[in-house]
Amino acid sequence: MPAGGDEPDRTINEKFGHKLDFVAELEHWFGNGSVPDRHHGIVVGDLNIAPLENDVWSHRQLLKIVSHTPAETSGLTKAQAAGGWVDLIRQHIPPEEKVYTWWSYRAHDWQLSNRGRRLDHIWTTPDLARRSQGIEILREARGWKQPSDHVPVMAMLDLS
């Protein structure tokens, strides 16, 4: 997913417009049979959007920050619904709980400030979601030597 630049206004930030257009195309593609009938599907990756209030450290303060604007979160929610995707992280961790998979390099002490966002996602078709045994977010990886600003997210699926 395109990151979208710094300014959440497509009239002055071409990158933000590109991101919104990409999300709209994703919705169209998902809604038009991206996963054929009787097939399984998984979407994984850095989607660069934290869709829920508890997917960011401060919903109110980030409403005008790229990755959590209403235009982005609404678009991602529509894309998810168009494909009938199940968000495995939120299947296992209630929406009332804060969950992050990304912390900025700009934070002097990322653990202390804990100003994270959930930008990384694992979505599955409903049949696979029923086989989901759990989810693990490897938060400690953010503290490793030369870490990424993202941490690994793993889904355990019973495919037997």
- Global pTM reads 0.95
| pLDDT at position 85 | 98
Length in residues, the chain = 160
Q: Given the structure tokens 């690994």, which residue do they identify?
A: 152
CA distance 139 to 99: 10
Q: Which residues pair with 153 in a beta bridge?
A: 137
Locate 89 and state its tokens: 């992280």
* One CATH from 3.40.190.10, 3.60.10.10, 3.40.50.720, 3.30.870.10 for 14-157: 3.60.10.10
| Average pLDDT across the chain, whole number | 97
Torsion angles phi and psi, residue 155, rounded to 5: -115, 135
CB 129 within 8 A of CB 140: no
Reported as a single tens digit per residue, the pLDDT across 57-112 is 999 999 999 999 999 999 999 999 999 999 999 999 999 999 999 999 988 899 99
